[in-house]
Amino acid sequence: MTEKEPSQTTKRQVPAVTRAVAILRFLARSDEPVGVNPIARELELVPSTCLHILRVLLDEGLVEFDSRTKRYSIGIGILPLARSALRKNTFSVLVQPLLSDLSEEFGVTSIATQLAEPAQMVVIALSQSTLPFRLQVDLGSRFPILISATGRLFAAFNVKEPDELRREFDKLVWDHPPSYDDWCKEIEQTRAQGYAVDRGTYISGVTVVAVPVFNAAGRMTRSLVAIGISERLGDAEVPRLAKALLELRDRIETMQAETGS
User: Do 195 and 213 meet the contact criterion of CB atoms below 8 Å apart?
Assistant: no
CA distance 89 to 143: 19
Does 244 lie in the same domain as 183?
Answer: yes
Tens of pLDDT, residues 162-190: 777 888 899 899 999 999 999 999 999 99
Q: What is the pLDDT of residue 90?
A: 73
Is residue 72 located within the same domain as residue 127? no
Domain-located, residue 139:
yes
- If one counts the domains in the chain, the total is 2
Q: Which domain holds residue 240?
A: 81-259
Q: Give the rounded percent of residues in the chain with a pLDDT score beyond 90.
A: 55
Q: How far is Cα 140 from Cα 152, in angstroms, rounded to an integer?
A: 21
Residue 103 has a CB neighbour count (10 Å cut-off) of 22
**70-124 tens-digit pLDDT:** 999 998 888 777 777 666 667 787 888 999 999 999 999 999 999 887 688 989 8
C-alpha closest to that of 114 among 134, 82, 92, 81: 92
Same domain, 137 and 240: yes
Same domain as 163, residue 119: yes
Q: Regarding predicted confidence, which is higher, 133 or 148?
A: 148
Q: Which of 31, 54, 76 corresponds to the end of one domain?
A: 76
Residue 216 lies in a domain: yes
CATH code of the domain containing 110: 3.30.450.40
